Structure 1
Amino acid sequence: MRSLGLLRAARNRIAACGDHGGVSTEAVGPMDASISKLLDGLRTAADEPARRAWALTCARALGLGGMAVSLNGELVWFSDATSKRLEDVQFVLGQGPGLLAQDIGTVHQAPDLRRLPAHQWPQYAAEAAQLGVAALFVWPVHIGAIQAGTMTGHRRTPGPLSARQSAQGQLVADALAQHVLSHWPQVSGTREGSGRAATVELHRSQVHQATGILSVRLRVPLPEALDRLRAQAYASHLSLTDTAHAVIHRELLWEPTHDTD
């Protein structure tokens, strides 16, 4: 899909500049020693459980309950089930703070979801509240001058970030972008090995597969097939991944409408 093509292009730019498992303090400026140590730990996050544990530790160092990273709409990193669900809901509904951050290009804070204007992300805010989330913070993820995605953190208590937390969060977001793209699938075989992290997982790969299946089955364009998949996930109160899994394994069937050519 188009998002994967954009990510591969960004990955190739990173490869052309050299492959870095972490990020240097010269590249990002001064940082707290604990954050610097965490970024160095990226090199040893060798599998999915280790990456989630690292992300949760990093979130706590930033004063967050959890965090997730999406690059061009593809969920690639998350610390916990709540963070994953927040990204899933945003992708399904097409509303949420991550979409705004992509437009404005700077860190966006929603320090108290209860005080949002009624017209701002109404369904998303309701879903977040059901998950016990009170505040959300979104950093743009940059690859050089390119904004490639977002890093979203949440808290279960309201309140803004400090200026230091905001700045350090941006350092983490940019370091994660370099690391994730350096270990993007199909770079050069397996990336397992001493001091190197494994290839990242594409958590929406089943969604892309299910979208293609629906497009063929219903004889509709891919965007419409994805919209139908999203609508089904929202209506059934299932995650988008679970809904896609049901389509792939023929547990959920759609038939083309009679007026479809």
Structure 2
Amino acid sequence: MRNRNNQISFFIIILLTIIMLPFRAMAIREPKPTAIDSRIRVMTYSPNDVFKFTGYYNYQGCIELDKGEEIVNLSMGDPNAWFIQEFGNRIFIKPIKDDATTNMLLITNKRTYFFELHAEEVQNINDSNMIFNVKFLYPDNEKSNNTNLVSLTSEVDLSHPENYNFYYTISGHQEIAPIKIFDDGDFTYIYFRDKNVAMPTVYIVDDRKKESLVNFRISTKNPNLMIVEQVSRRLSLRLGRKVVYVFNEALLSK
């Protein structure tokens, strides 16, 4: 009798594991507002995530993919619920049906995207919930035409420190503050303390204190290393309400 009960229990565990596998395989990822305007948002690409996009009636939204990315196929659960127009690496999208909740599968020449589409009403165009544009970020993108970029599978070679500028200062929230920053004249390398802490988004800050998104990558060998694909006078690192400002003193002193 005990063996029979053990067999039943084992069968139930296996059955529950099989049932739960699809739910563990993918996570829902929502776009995050940028510091300048909450209606401009970013979303980090992951092949195992479902991306949630909310459109607003009477307003057009835009989904911006990677540079050079071309749409091969776009299919929807309810194609009559949304207006879709493709243009290069952008998708212009807005809900047109009362109940527009559906899904969308997007296949490009580089990646596959799974979308969960929702539609809502807003009071006016300045509503903070409104989404004008969602830009995808690709921190693990290994494509680069610049041979000076450090390989994502290796560490930075610091055997010749004279080739790097270490003259950086920072101010801001210590929880997301980097522990080391330097550049080689082409790229900026930022080391963080804890690989389990979510990486902040990087912005370049101009002389008028206007912030703009900048391309960056995460090293596949060292998840604490962020590689920013340019060198600038000022950067800001943002994670939610936490902000750190990075100052390139070598450039600021010129």
Q: TM-score, normalised by structure 2?
A: 0.24
Larger C-alpha radius of gyration, 1 or 2?
A: 2
Structure showing the higher strand proportion among its residues:
2
Structure showing the higher helix proportion among its residues:
1
* More RCO (CA 8 Å, sep 6+): 1
